[in-house]
Amino acid sequence: MIRKMGEGKARELFITGERMTAERAHEVGLVNHVVDDDALDAAVAHLVETILSSGPEAVAMAKKLVSEVPAMTPEQFKPYTAEMIARLRISDEGQEGMDAFLNKRPPRWAKKE
């Protein structure tokens, strides 16, 4: 939580025990999205659709990078991320994504209507 919102904001919340609205949680970086109750299903569906339109290996790699890179020094994460990106680009999924983009068609992993 401290890394997500910053030490100053975290300290204030810990010390004050402040109750917060969804909007305040969004302001301090605790949540990514705030929507009205009646818009929740549509917002979730849109987010899921967006994620599913990406390559599954790319999504998994992005999750891995987000969890591992913050603990690395620049000397560690630069070659690490370059290697991961290179691996993904030459993978079957990476090649399919590039071919789909160049030929203006949906990739094979994308949900079919």
pLDDT at 111: 59
Structure confidence at residue 17 as a pLDDT band (50, 70, 90): confident
Whole-angstrom CA distances from 109 to 39, 67, 87 are 28, 24, 18
Q: What span, in angstroms and rounded, lies between the C-alpha atoms of 94 and 91?
A: 5
Share the mean pLDDT of the chain: 89
Q: What is the pTM of this model?
A: 0.70
pLDDT of residue 110: 63
Which one is predicted more confidently, 68 or 110? 68
Whether the Cβ atoms of residue 29 and residue 5 lie closer than 8 Å to each other: yes
Question: Is pLDDT at 113 greater than 60 in this prediction?
Answer: no
pLDDT, average across residues 18-47 = 92
Distance CA(12)–CA(57), nearest Å, equals 39
Distance separating alpha carbons of residues 45 and 24, to the nearest angstrom = 24
Q: Give the per-residue pLDDT at 27.
A: 86
Q: Which of 51, 48, 67 has the alpha carbon at shortest distance from 59?
A: 51
